Structure 1
Amino acid sequence: MDYKETIAYIHAMPKFSRKLGNTMLRRLLECLGNPQDELRFIHIAGTNGKGSVAAMLAKILSCAGFKTGLFTSPYIERFNERIRIGDQQISDTELSEIVTGIRNVIEKEKTEVSEFALDTAVAFCYFAKEKCDLVVLETGLGGRLDATNVISKNLVTVLTAIGLDHTQYLGDTIEKITAEKCGIFKPGCPVVSSPGQEVEVCRVIRQYADEKNVPLFFAAMPEWEDEKVLYGGHIYQLGLEGTFQAENAAVVIEAVQQLRKQGFIISEEALRRGLAETKHVARFERFGGNIILDGGHNPQAAEKLCESLRQLKKPVYFCTAMMEDKDYIHCAEIFAEIAAGAITTQIDMPRCCHAQNLAFAFEKYGVRAIPVTDPEKAVLKALKMAEKNGIVCICGSLYLAGNLRPFLKKMFT
């Protein structure tokens, strides 16, 4: 298969049409020689912040001299973003060769898997082939039944902030969702979790930690000022913007401490460099000074995003699209607290909320909202509305971010 055929084959795999579970993936991996057993993992689950935490950890470990694999989801513009070693994405050729080999095994052994399970198998094969020292592994959905949870052991488990999302798959209460995330705990493997979690979340995490007999560490609440984090008596410069990154950085620092306890040499210089040099697209990403692109798509992320936008002390105009299965009405309510105006749009996906319906949600909370169905025209309309002194915040969906990021790059390069 060439690259185009490879991507088409990956996307042709079922997403949620099969029952959640990893029986077929385990069979496939066994046929591939269980590449995951050759690797050492830092496993990350949570509702918000997983991608940023994964990016920071991978950068720090690379700065410390480890050949570090990184598996994240979803991608923004190109599939290859999801599978990286250091700063280098998997090449088109490598991806095609690995997927072709796996396809041959699937057809021979009748081990059909979901799209995400296939992606996970590809990452394991690539990282094992390249003999990575460490792999930062981000879950896709939940934890207990997530494809990444086929690993039998890991060095550190990380739980980022947990909130209500994917309730149709993970449960309709915060306790049920937390329990699913805790499903990645491994006996004896230390767990590091975000500060400031809800009481119910902390209770469930502690319960599962006791049952699995794992050491549990909650990061302390950091202080934040001028893109710098004060934590543990030290000041750290962050490469990622947004006040919400302070809590993510605290989790990362605690995870590094756990790795150090296990004998991994990670200098203070590597920690500082890694935090300062981390880049992660569509997470409070700036374009041209007055455009911010963010993938936040649930109420918890919306709250954190608004906290960061308030720090800018400028009028904020939202340009947003959201999926219908997300709590877009609550998100609109949160955005409305700081919005000077809003442009609502939509992308060509069956799940996407119609721009007019999203505009109604904003107007319900007193914000003038104009529906513009074409995303690029929506951005231009928002820029005109904001004029020179306002901020345009494009948010609501990582799919929207992926749709508009190439357009923004052309505008400002």
Structure 2
Amino acid sequence: MNYSELDYRKSIDYLHSLEKFGIKLGLERIKKLLAALGNPEKDFKTIHVAGTNGKGSVCAMIASVLKESNYKTGLYTSPHLIDFRERIVINGKKIPKQKISVLIKDMRRVADKMRPHPTYFEFITALAFKYFSEQKVDFAVVEVGMGGRFDATNVIYPEVSIITNVSFEHTEHLGKTIKKIAKEKAGIIKCGRPVITSAKGVALKVIENKCKELKSNLIILDEKSFDEKDMNINNQKFVLYGVKEDYNLTSRLVGKHQMLNACCAVACAELLGIRKGYVIKGIKNVFWPGRFEVVQKNPVIILDGAHNPDGIKALKNTLVKIFGNKKIFFVISICSDKDIEKMIREIAPLVKEIVITKHAVMNRAANPLVIKKLAEKHVSKYANNIVVKKTVKTALNYVRKKARKDDIICVTGSIFTVAGAKEVL
């Protein structure tokens, strides 16, 4: 191991040490930290993306389109799957290890003197903005971490704000009603700057009212914004009806929900004046791991980070669309703060065998025995094969030994479950 690798590991250890400061919503600390760093977030144009589901995919699509348009494009997302550096990317290339070490060393001189100390997410958000500034990106596509209004990313004044959709999540921080959660997400809307959303119902009304208040033009998208042509395990083809023109698109991100996500990305591209050819190429080339990602065939192994009822419903619909009523081996671990029963009930009719396990991230995984009890209630109507394994690795190894070449294995329940599978595969 050379010095730079050792230094990098120490830097990552330092970042992990910041987790002790917990989740603290608010902008005071991040603004103070960024000011001490020279306000790097003001050095480039930004696109800001919030939403319960799909915001990472939308970010990846927009970044891909901007890259094809020859813009130097930063992409800041969370969480990561395997490597921390996945969070901070320029034109598809992860931030170098040495650069992380240097930036953290410099930033600690400021952050470690602050009281209260910046949280983990605040620190890495500032790190991303500092890196993008130093590298002179033209655009940064920025994914909200949690909510929006008091999220550490909400210090930017974006060219476009996007709110994909709104459903129940992080209710202990964002509120226990859709109206309250939508209000938090609508907090990213800035005066006079355009807004794109595919939200519905009460959430849409909240967003509409906020846009009226701030005189921001609102583009509303729904399933009438596209027509599906073909969907298979490798890609999908669809016609997307943009605000300015229509697009015949092919994408490796599969599922009807991804077509709607593409509508958000294309609407953003149109607002930015991106040429049609670049849009088509950007959507075709985008890859976003852990989203209906097929990592093996014979048997088929699919990794999907669906982590809440709406995400699981979208996954189920995609599985049915591609495979019909074929029964599936599920490997699943779910975070304890999710509506586990709704998620299990949603996939129950598709289950051939369900293997319940526990992912290894920050002790957030639900007790497998809790999930098993719910599976016995809902899955047993369709299949009697309910198994518990200690780790994602042992669960996946168990299923791979049982599955035949024509079977389907789906690993889901959390992006952390997918991460555990990727370390094995």
Give the TM-score category using the shorter length.
over 0.9
Q: How far apart in 2 are the matches of 1:394 and 1:50?
A: 20
Residue 183 of structure 1 corresponds to which residue in structure 2? 187
Report the RMSD for the aligned CA atoms in angstroms: 1.5
Secondary structure of the equivalent of 1:311? Answer: helix
* Contact 2:186 2:207 (8 Å CA) reproduced: yes
Secondary structure of the equivalent of 1:99? Answer: helix
Q: How far apart in 1 are the matches of 2:20 and 2:159?
A: 29
Q: Report how far residue 341 of structure 1 moved.
A: 2.1
Q: Report how far residue 389 of structure 1 moved.
A: 2.3
Q: Report how far residue 337 of structure 1 moved.
A: 2.7
1:360 to 373, 377, 389: 373
Q: Per-residue displacement from partner, 1:90-129 (whole Å, max 9, x unpaired)? A: 0000111111110011234556201000010000100000
Residue 202 of structure 1 corresponds to which residue in structure 2? 204
Residue 3 of structure 2 corresponds to which residue in structure 1? none
* Contact 2:52 2:165 (8 Å CA) reproduced: yes
* Contact 1:342 1:382 (8 Å CA) reproduced: no
Q: How far apart in 2 are the matches of 1:254 and 1:271?
A: 10
Change (3 A) 1:249 1:15: farther
Residue 295 of structure 1 corresponds to which residue in structure 2? 305
Superposed, which structure 2 residues align to 1:98-177 within 5 Å? 98-108=103-113, 110=115, 112-151=117-156, 153-177=157-181
Q: How far apart in 1 are the matches of 2:77 and 2:330?
A: 27
Q: How far apart in 1 are the matches of 2:176 and 2:23?
A: 21
Change (3 A) 1:125 1:360: same
Secondary structure of the equivalent of 1:312? Answer: helix
Q: Report how far residue 356 of structure 1 moved.
A: 2.4
Q: How far apart in 2 are the matches of 1:14 and 1:166?
A: 17
Secondary structure of the equivalent of 1:172? Answer: coil
Q: How many residues align?
A: 400
Q: How far apart in 2 are the matches of 1:320 and 1:110?
A: 40
* Contact 2:24 2:119 (8 Å CA) reproduced: no
Q: Report how far residue 403 of structure 1 moved.
A: 1.4
Secondary structure of the equivalent of 2:165? Answer: coil
Q: How far apart in 2 are the matches of 1:258 and 1:52?
A: 19
1:34 to 36, 39, 43: 39
* Contact 2:125 2:152 (8 Å CA) reproduced: yes
Residue 320 of structure 1 corresponds to which residue in structure 2? 332
Q: How far apart in 2 are the matches of 1:97 and 1:25?
A: 20
Give % identity: 34
1:58 to 63, 68, 79: 63
Structure 1, unmatched stretches of 5+, are 261-265, 409-413
* Contact 1:309 1:316 (8 Å CA) reproduced: no
Residue 212 of structure 1 corresponds to which residue in structure 2? 214
Q: How far apart in 1 are the matches of 2:335 and 2:347?
A: 16
Q: Tell me whether 1:335 sits opposite 2:347 in the alignment.
A: yes
Secondary structure of the equivalent of 2:209? Answer: helix
Residue 411 of structure 1 corresponds to which residue in structure 2? none
Q: Per-residue displacement from partner, 1:300-352 (whole Å, max 9, x unpaired)? A: 10110101010222322211001111111110011113222211111234221
Moved more, 333-342 or 8-17: 8-17
Residue 263 of structure 2 corresponds to which residue in structure 1? 250
TM-score w.r.t. length of structure 2: 0.91
Moved more, 232-241 or 200-209: 232-241
* Contact 2:21 2:119 (8 Å CA) reproduced: yes
Q: How far apart in 1 are the matches of 2:251 and 2:117?
A: 42
* Contact 2:334 2:365 (8 Å CA) reproduced: yes
2:285 to 265, 277, 286: 277
Q: Tell me whether 1:370 sits opposite 2:387 in the alignment.
A: yes
Q: Report how far residue 161 of structure 1 moved.
A: 1.9
Corresponding letter in the other structure for 1:395: T
Corresponding letter in the other structure for 1:231: L
Q: How far apart in 2 are the matches of 1:18 and 1:273?
A: 38
* Contact 1:315 1:389 (8 Å CA) reproduced: no
Q: Report how far residue 213 of structure 1 moved.
A: 1.2
Moved more, 352-361 or 393-402: 352-361
Q: How far apart in 2 are the matches of 1:111 and 1:31?
A: 15
Q: How far apart in 2 are the matches of 1:211 and 1:281?
A: 38
Change (3 A) 1:229 1:160: same
Residue 240 of structure 2 corresponds to which residue in structure 1? 231
